[in-house]
Amino acid sequence: MVIETPETAQRAPAKGRILDTANILFYQDGILNVGVDRIIAQSSVTKATFYKHYRSKDNLILEYVKSQRSAVETQVQSVIDNAASPHDAVLGLLEGVAAELTKPNFRGCPFANVVAEFPDPTHPVRQLIAEHRDWYNEALYELMRGAGHPFAGDAADELMLAKDGALVGGNAGDTIAAGAAMARVVKRVLAEAVTV
């Protein structure tokens, strides 16, 4: 899942190319499998330019996670803002996840992939991901509360787990089965809500 961010146009061209290249390579091949020299070569910059903008691979990794987070949060907020109701917003969000499963270069959830490579929960990238997950879960909670679900927190947790499961399961196995299972959970959770 390579997501363009709103900041892309505001970055220096070389800095933007480096991050755009990292977005593709880190997602497709894994962060630990991609070296700085490969990023430099594929983004057509010099070593000096890379280090001028990022100073280290660790800083680029943080920027990668921040750019993924920013893009997902922007997309989620857009779906919420454009939905006619909380119910429709939840359907829109989960339809977006289902669409990810069918993309040609789909390789699962970028955040789950990073977590698998960085097991230490105190690592800065893990903290960014934890903050993102809290934000996403809170957005789902507010939607389910707005839809009149009697247990909005539990519903948000179930939707979050269904989303995670579809992205991880779709990467590891059958994308159709993963999407269908997620849809069943979403349908059940939404049916429990009392439309207000």
> What pTM value is reported for the model?
0.89
Q: Is 12 buried (19+), middle (13-18) or exposed (0-12) by CB count in 10 A?
A: exposed
Do the first three CATH levels of 1-82 and 83-196 match, i.e. the same topology? yes
Domain boundaries, the chain: 1-82, 83-196
Instruction: Say how many residues make up the chain.
Output: 196
- According to CATH, the topology of domain 83-196 is Tetracycline Repressor; domain 2 (1.10.357)
Closest listed residue to residue 20, CA positions, set 41, 39, 36? 39
CATH number of 1-82: 1.10.357.10
- Average of per-residue pLDDT values in the chain: 93
Residue scoring higher pLDDT (180 or 196): 180
Mean pLDDT of all residues in 120-143: 98
pLDDT at 1 over 70: no
